[in-house]
């Protein structure tokens, strides 16, 4: 489905806020991240046709949704855009089954996945006869996702579908979203203000700030930028430590110790056993506060994930702390957050070789606690 | 006329039948414009909304005699609208049961609109937006989402308007007078009975009938509203 390529350009002013964005999105998940009020939802609602921007050109393949220059505005019902909102927005007077079929009935077909497949994927088979008020938040959101999928969409918009749910419900829905991602060959725009969700689901990321696109591109590349991290985490960057997102490859399993060795390009990390075949790719997130430094290779230590690195730069991070930027191999950059005093006593300086001790590794997007390394 | 098996006198049966007939006709007449006006007042953004709101509420605050007299001026034989109806549609409203139905429709209209408008205001526009992204056009959204969600309000409003129509007196007697078998509805028959010496017993029977009818309408309203609520929210 190479024609399913979304191209968006929107300029809109509403009550003192101006949105001015332009981007392209192909098949796969494009994560949209940014602080609240950045214009994320406004962008999606213009794409869906729920709002009319003053100036815009939005097209999916060769189908033009909006072109204000040519006076084109396609009403939302003709766009075939599946929209999953923050709240489930199920129709209260219809049963779950009727909600699911609402779009399919009007579009004449269910779309790329059949009704049975969607019901199976989302695990909502037992809920079909229920009314929306008798669903839990997580169930309702799953039904809402199913309803959007069954409306034969050519584009899927998801506006923080997990934000109204508690951590347990999030964990319950996340696997469904991942499975969805693998099964659908259409552009999916996924809004979130949670880096973990983006890292886990997105192929590309778009960072929105103050109605403008602050950065866009590969997830790891964009989210590893410190300016982007501080944009997302807010101005209070002393509290939030930098994190590095990296792509790793499963190199081997240590069955005797229930560990999996990951190759992170120039170094290796051991994490609790993963159910992935050697060669599989995973995304990891290393937080600066989880990395300690040593100037000599530590001999007797329980932390076994020790990586040889070189100091690139030392930056102040508040009155008592510094962030030490480390180079591992040619490409990998890591950060370690340590105290001022430690940096002084160890006489750390740019160019000095050190050993980074990784206390824990967060398997990207794993919304549970980071997988503890040994 | 239906045989009421001697349970009611012919006069009473006639008044009851007329009341029901004018009430049902009047409510049915006011329902479509009532829904439209309620929707416009709840959702519309247009000039003159305030004026429309005022106009709709007018019969509620004006003395009914004034409303009846205005109807007579407009819809009577010589009135502009009445004249038009007579010449072009062969249709007379003055001094017959159709006029009584119109009077009760006008008097019940504000109550009907209020109830339905409130219901429209409780419908979440975000549900309608969701429906549109699922492929439903404006009319489709209205009939498949909005209307079912306001149905309890429509039922409540309709029965309220109907109950009001049953009690209509002032505007009716001014507009279409007091003609037994034609415009003499229950309240007017009650009034007439009171004008006759020793009419108290008859009057009491009319009072009883009126109470029965009103309680019936209220009970029906409650029943339907609850059934609808159950259907939508699954609770009572």
CB-nearest partner of A106 from B124, B135, B234: B135
Q: For B136, name the nearest residue in chain A, comparing CA atoms only.
A: A77
| pLDDT, average across residues A45-67 | 94
| pLDDT, average across residues A95-109 | 91
Residue A51: pLDDT over 60: yes
Q: Do B135 and A82 touch (CB under 8 A)?
A: no
In angstroms, the separation between the Cα of residue A60 and the nearest Cα of chain B is 15
**Residues of chain A contacting B123 with CB distance shorter than 8 Å:** none
Percent with pLDDT over 90 in chain A: 40
Q: Do A89 and B134 touch (CB under 8 A)?
A: no
| pLDDT, average across residues A186-213 | 88
Tell me the pLDDT tens digit for each residue of A253-272.
888 888 888 888 778 888 88
**Residues of chain A contacting B135 with CB distance shorter than 8 Å:** 77-78, 80, 103, 106-107, 151
In angstroms, the separation between the Cα of residue B45 and the nearest Cα of chain A is 16
**E strand or H helix at A150, and its extent?**
none
The predicted structure's pLDDT at residue B6: 65
Q: Do A77 and B126 touch (CB under 8 A)?
A: no
Q: Do B135 and A85 touch (CB under 8 A)?
A: no
The predicted structure's pLDDT at residue A238: 46
**Does any CB of chain B come closer than 8 Å to the CB of residue A63?**
no
Residue A66: pLDDT over 90: yes
**Residues of chain A contacting B129 with CB distance shorter than 8 Å:** 50, 76
Tell me the pLDDT tens digit for each residue of A276-317.
788 888 888 888 888 999 998 888 888 888 888 999 989 888
Overall pTM > 0.90: no
CB-nearest partner of A106 from B134, B148, B231: B134
| Per-residue confidence band for B5, with pLDDT thresholds at 50, 70 and 90 | low
CB-nearest partner of B135 from A93, A103, A134: A103
Report the complex ipTM. Answer: 0.79
The predicted structure's pLDDT at residue A177: 82
The predicted structure's pLDDT at residue A221: 84
**Does any CB of chain B come closer than 8 Å to the CB of residue A106?**
yes
Tell me the pLDDT tens digit for each residue of B29-68.
999 999 999 999 998 888 989 999 999 999 989 999 999 9
| Per-residue confidence band for A33, with pLDDT thresholds at 50, 70 and 90 | very high
**Residues of chain B contacting A89 with CB distance shorter than 8 Å:** 124, 126-127, 130
Residue B83: pLDDT over 50: yes
Q: Do B133 and A133 touch (CB under 8 A)?
A: no
Q: Do A106 and B232 touch (CB under 8 A)?
A: no
Cα-trace Rg, chain B: 20
Give the B window 129-188 contacts with A, CB below 8 Å. 129-137, 140, 144-145, 148-149
Residue A367: pLDDT over 80: no
């Amino acid at each position: 489905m190479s024609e399913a390529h979304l191209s968006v350009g929107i300029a809109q002013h509403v009550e003192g806020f101006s949105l001015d964005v332009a981007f392209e999105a192909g098949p796969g998940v494009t994560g949209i991240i940014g602080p609240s009020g950045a214009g994320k939802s406004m962008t999606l609602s213009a794409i869906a046709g729920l709002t009319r921007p003053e100036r815009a050109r939005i097209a999916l393949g060769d189908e033009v949704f909006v072109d204000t220059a040519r006076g084109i505005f396609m009403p939302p019902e003709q766009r075939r855009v599946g929209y999953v909102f923050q709240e489930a927005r199920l129709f209260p007077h219809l049963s779950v089954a009727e909600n699911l079929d609402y779009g399919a009935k009007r579009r004449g077909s269910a779309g790329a996945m059949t009704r049975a497949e969607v019901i199976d994927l989302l695990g909502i088979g037992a809920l079909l006869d229920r009314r929306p008020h008798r669903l839990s938040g997580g169930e309702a959101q799953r039904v809402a996702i199913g309803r959007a999928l069954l409306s034969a969409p050519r584009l899927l918009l998801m506006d923080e579908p997990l934000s109204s749910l508690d951590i347990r419900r999030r964990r319950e829905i996340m696997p469904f979203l991942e499975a969805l991602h693998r099964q659908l060959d259409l552009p999916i725009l996924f809004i979130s203000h949670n880096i973990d969700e983006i890292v886990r689901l997105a192929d590309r990321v778009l960072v929105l700030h103050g109605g403008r696109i602050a950065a866009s591109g590969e997830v790891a590349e964009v989210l590893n930028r410190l300016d982007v991290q501080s944009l997302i985490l807010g101005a209070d960057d002393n509290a939030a430590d930098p994190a590095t997102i990296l792509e790793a490859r499963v190199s081997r399993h240590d069955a005797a110790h229930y560990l999996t060795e990951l190759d992170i390009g120039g170094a290796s990390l051991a994490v609790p056993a993963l159910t992935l075949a050697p060669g599989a790719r995973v995304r990891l997130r290393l937080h600066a506060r989880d990395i300690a430094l040593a100037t000599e290779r530590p001999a007797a230590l329980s932390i076994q994930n020790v990586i040889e690195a070189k100091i690139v730069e030392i930056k102040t991070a508040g009155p008592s702390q510094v962030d030490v930027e480390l180079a591992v191999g040619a490409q990998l950059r890591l950060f370690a957050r340590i105290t001022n005093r430690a940096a002084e006593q160890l006489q750390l300086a740019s160019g000095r070789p050190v050993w980074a001790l990784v206390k824990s590794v967060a398997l990207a997007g794993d919304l549970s606690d980071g997988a503890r390394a040994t | 006329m239906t045989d009421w098996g001697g349970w009611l006198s012919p006069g009473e049966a006639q008044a009851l039948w007329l009341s029901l007939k004018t009430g049902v006709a009047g409510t049915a007449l006011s329902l479509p414009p009532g829904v439209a006006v309620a929707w416009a007042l709840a959702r519309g953004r247009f000039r003159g909304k305030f004026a429309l709101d005022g106009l709709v509420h007018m019969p509620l605050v004006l003395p009914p005699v004034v409303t009846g007299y205005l109807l007579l001026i407009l819809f009577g034989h010589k009135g502009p609208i009445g004249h038009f109806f007579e010449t072009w549609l062969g249709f007379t409203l003055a001094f017959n049961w159709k006029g009584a139905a119109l009077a009760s429709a006008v008097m019940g209209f504000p109550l009907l609109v209020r109830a339905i408008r409130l219901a429209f205001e409780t419908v979440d526009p975000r549900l309608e937006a969701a429906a549109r992204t699922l492929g439903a056009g404006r009319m489709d959204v209205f009939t498949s989402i909005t209307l079912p969600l306001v149905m309890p309000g429509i039922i409540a409003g309709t029965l309220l308007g109907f109950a009001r129509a049953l009690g209509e007196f002032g505007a009716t007697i001014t507009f279409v007078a007091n003609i037994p078998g034609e415009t003499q509805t229950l309240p007017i028959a009650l009034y007439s009975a009171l004008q006759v010496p020793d009419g108290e017993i008859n009057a009491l029977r009319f009072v009883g009938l009126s109470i029965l009818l009103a309680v019936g309408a209220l009970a029906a309203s409650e029943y339907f509203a609850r059934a609808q609520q159950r259907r939508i929210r699954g609770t009572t």
